[in-house]
Every structure is written in C-alpha cells, then in structure tokens.
Chain A
Amino acid sequence: MKKSIIKVEGLTKNFNSFTAVDGISFEVDEGEIFAFLGPNGAGKTTTIKMLTTLLNPTKGKMLLNGLDPALEKDRARKSFGIVFQDPSLDDELTAYENMEFHGAIYRVPKQVREERISYLLKLVGLIERKNDFVKTFSGGMKRRLEIARGLIHHPKILFLDEPTLGLDPQTRNSIWDYIRKLNKEEGMTVFFTTHYMEEAEKVADTVAIIDRGKILKSGTAGELKSLTKTASLEDAFLKLTGYSIREENSKAIDNLRMARRMWRR
C-alpha cells in the first residue's frame, strides 16, 4: 500500500460566477509521476495555484505532505517547488542572479547551490549566457532557465505547469531525464500538466484527464486507452474531452510591458 502525498477532496474554485475548478478529488502517491491533461481553460493551473498556496479555494479539502496549503501556508511551502506556466523570471537580473536568488530564498547551502546552478545551466545549455540579462533571452531560453531554476532545491513535491511548452525535443528529453533521475534517486513526487500526449504517456505513472473543471478519468495511460477503446492517449483524450476548440482570455501584458518601458525612462 503506497502512501499518498497529495490528497484533494471536492476542491472547488469560483471566480465570481465562473467555476474554474468544480469539486475535483484525486490522490497522488509519494514518489509518483502524475500528469494532469486537459484542454485550455480546463482548470489545471487553477488547481496548481490552490495546491501551491497562491489561491484560496472556495470549497473543498487539500492535503499536501500532510499539511493544508490553504491554512498552513508557510509550512506547506517548505514541501514543494514549482515551475510556473507563465513567466516568473526577473528580466533585469542575469540568468545566474535569478538562479542565485532562488537558491538563497530556498536556503540551499552555498556550496551545493553553486554546484547545482552550474550543473543545471549546462543541462539546459545556458552556461555560456549565465551573465547575460534575462531580458536579452528568447522565449525558449527563458523557459529553459525557469525549469533549471525550479530544480535547484530538491523539493519533496515538484509541480511543473506545462514545463516543456515550446522546447525542442532535445531539450525536452534532457530535462525529463534529469527529472526522472531525481524522481528515482530522491523519491521526489512530480505533478505536471502538459499538452504533449506522448510526454504524458512516456513519463507519467498516472494520468488524470480534466476538462471544464472536472476530472473525467484517471489511471495509467494503458488503462485510459483500454477504457476508451482507443489506440493512443491522444485519441483517448479527444474521445473524452470532445473536439471543440477552447477559448482563453488574452492578457493585457503586452500593453503593460510597453508602459513599463516608458515609465522607467
């Protein structure tokens, strides 16, 4: 019998009249790699935000490493690390400074920190650019840096929200190899969301398919395929979630970027 490290029961989040997450329940075992699959706007990110103390749930129970992220925020934060879907780097610091900042606020001892930072920067191919400002980086480079940063401290639970979106297969593979190594050697639990079906199929022990705030099915990739009588996880996914294309609201971030530049002058 495995011990569960994440336990969610009837978790709900309403934004005014809109229900982003609608009474979901699931469990993740310790040391497991768990994938959350769902179309845009399914509630994946909202769920992760509630689990990582950034949002308070409207209803429902959560337990993360035995702690309630809604009530025992400071203690719960010690149990996990997260790579966000949206950018979360400081553009006006260098790559190395972003890494160093992370290592320091997560209290990774200085020597370990330095070793891991150079190892990880090599892993994501950014070691030569370590002293460059992040604002000079391309989207893919920023993404690689964010993933590398999330791996400096080795948390008990690692959340990855669409970690490999926009990365080439080489980078994706080397990153996943490293994450799987941490998963094996340190028993780190991995909770990730993705759009890449083959990625979920390849690395996840359990896959949960979520749509419109509800979990439709969960199980191993094989179980989901036989359940839906389909040949691939992608077919199983489409069969469960339907073929309609989802709308997502755009953000005013580009306007803001411009406003910031002007204001800074």
Chain B
Amino acid sequence: MEVLYVLWLRQIKKYWRSRARMIGSLGQPLLFLIAFGFGFGSIYQKAEGGNFIQFLAPGIIAMSILFTAMFTGIELIWDRQFGFLKETLVAPVSRPKIMLGRTLGGATVSVFQGVVVLLVSLLVGFKIGNPALLPLAILFMFLIALLFTAFGTAIASRMEDMQAFPLVMNFIIMPIFFFSGALFPLEGLSGPIEAVTNFNPLTYGVDGLRGALGGAYHLGLFADLAVLALTTIFLFGLGSYLFSTIEI
C-alpha cells in the first residue's frame, strides 16, 4: 500500500509544484468556453438547442481532463530520458503496480484540473442541474482521467523520446477531442462521423458527464459507465503489459 501511495504522491507533488503549468493549462479551456460558448451561442439558440454554454461546459471539462491525463501518462518519457524510470524499474515492485500508482496519481491530478474547469465554467454562466448528482459527475471525471492516463502511459511505453509527440497530439488527442460530442450534439450526425464518435471512448465520458451535470444522456447512463469502465480496464491491462516489457 505504501508503495502505491508514494508513487501516487510523487505525481501530485510534481503537479502541485508547477503552478505555471496549472495556470497555463486553464488557458485553453477558458478560451474554448468563451470563444465557442459566446461565438456559437446565438446560432445554437436559433436552432432551438437552448443555452450553448450549458451544452458546451461538460465537453470542455472532459477536454481538459483528456489533455491533462494524456500528458501525465506521456510524461513517462521524461522519466525515461532523465533516468528516474530506471530507479523505479529495478525496485522490488511489480511493473503493473508501478503503472497503477502512476496512473492513479495522474488521474487524481486530471480530476482536480477538471474540477477547476467546472468552477471556471460556473463563472461564465454554467449551471449545475442537480447538485446531488455531483458525485456521479466526479465519478465520470475519474473514469475519463484513468482511461486516458493509462492510454498515455501505454503510448509512452513504446516511445523512446519526444520526437513522436506532435504525432500523438495531432493524430490521437485532437481527433479524440473533436469527435467526442464535446463541441457538437450527437443527434443527426452523418454516418461516418457517427461511426467514429461511437468508437471513441471520450464520447461516453462527455455524454455521462453532461448527463450528470444536468443535461440529457444521449447514450444512457449505464452504457456510458460500462463502456468507460471496460475500456479503462482494457487500456490499463495493455499499458501494464507494454510497461512491463520496457527495456532500458
């Protein structure tokens, strides 16, 4: 237990100490909320969608969790390059356990980031539907965070350095964000786009978060929970396997 705790604590400390990074990573969600929220607000209203901020905020919260989680997962590469990874890899701790400690730490940080964005969105006019459902919203945040931290770690286990990072950013993280229903409703999408969104795990995260925060579930609470949980378990297993085979 203590081993998991120190692995977790390390991630928290590193995050907490880089204030610049914390503040910096609030910039993007805030920009998206204001620019899209107010920019498309009137069109959305005319199309009888209702208040766009109300629709958009859960998507932006999910986005900030996605980014933070993927980054903390991919941070494994820094540990590899700067040698600290060796220190953990020779320790008498099984690799899946190291992966679990790291992932829990990264996920905690990401949920914290998500909560901060939620608070910011309240300032721009977002309203929580039913405060009693907040724990459910936090659960969704945590599932999204775990899933993508594990995914980031899995990717990082196969990367030697940061050269491939723009590739991951543009071909994995951005598409996951754009095709998740974070920015637009899932109703009435054309076939191929709908297929892509259905295949995207973040879609279920955004949907669940939107439902828990007061909007409507498009896919259903249980479908959202089940898909997220199963994908998380799968990616965690895959990540552990890839992590276990790292050679330095």
Residues of A within 8 A of B (CB): 49, 52-56, 74, 77-78, 80, 82, 84, 86-93, 97, 100-102, 104-107, 252-253, 256-257, 259-260, 263-265
Contacts and interface: CB of A to CB of B under 8 A. Distances in A.
Contacts of A54: 86, 89-90, 247-248
15 contacts: A53-B89, A77-B93, A82-B90, A86-B83, A88-B86, A91-B82, A93-B10, A93-B13, A97-B13, A101-B6, A104-B6, A105-B88, A107-B3, A260-B78, A264-B18
Contacts of B90: 52-54, 77, 80, 82
B161 to A, nearest CB: 7
B81 A105 contact: no
B92 A74 contact: yes
Interface of B: 2-3, 5-7, 10, 13-14, 17-18, 20-21, 24, 78-79, 81-84, 86-94, 161-162, 247-248
A89 B84 contact: yes
B119 to A, nearest CB: 23
B61 to A, nearest CB: 23
A32 B27 CA distance: 59
A249 B240 CA distance: 31
Mostly, the B contact residues are helix
B161 A55 contact: no
A264 B2 contact: no
B3, B90, B93: which has the most chain A beta carbons within 10 Å?
A: B90
A74 B92 CA distance: 6
A256 B83 CA distance: 12
Given A77-B90, A87-B82, A106-B92, A256 B248 contact: no
A190 B103 CA distance: 35
B2 A101 contact: no
Contacts of B79: 90
B83 A87 contact: yes
A264 B227 CA distance: 33
B6 A92 contact: no
Contact of A264 (B21, B84, B91, B93): B21
A77 B87 CA distance: 12
A88 B87 contact: yes
Given A90-B84, A105-B6, A252 B161 contact: yes
Given A106-B91, A256-B81, A92 B86 contact: no
A104 B86 contact: no
Contact of B2 (A92, A107, A259): A107
B3 A104 contact: yes
Given A77-B91, A82-B90, A253 B248 contact: no
A93 B12 CA distance: 11
B120 to A, nearest CB: 20
Nearest to B17: A92
Contact of A102 (B82, B87, B161): B87
Nearest to A54: B248
A107 B82 contact: no
B161 A92 contact: no
Nearest to B7: A105
A51 to B, nearest CB: 10
A55 B246 CA distance: 9
Given A89-B83, A105-B93, A56 B247 contact: yes
A264 B71 CA distance: 11
A264 B20 contact: yes
Contact of A105 (B3, B18, B161): B3
Nearest to B5: A104
A54 B161 CA distance: 18
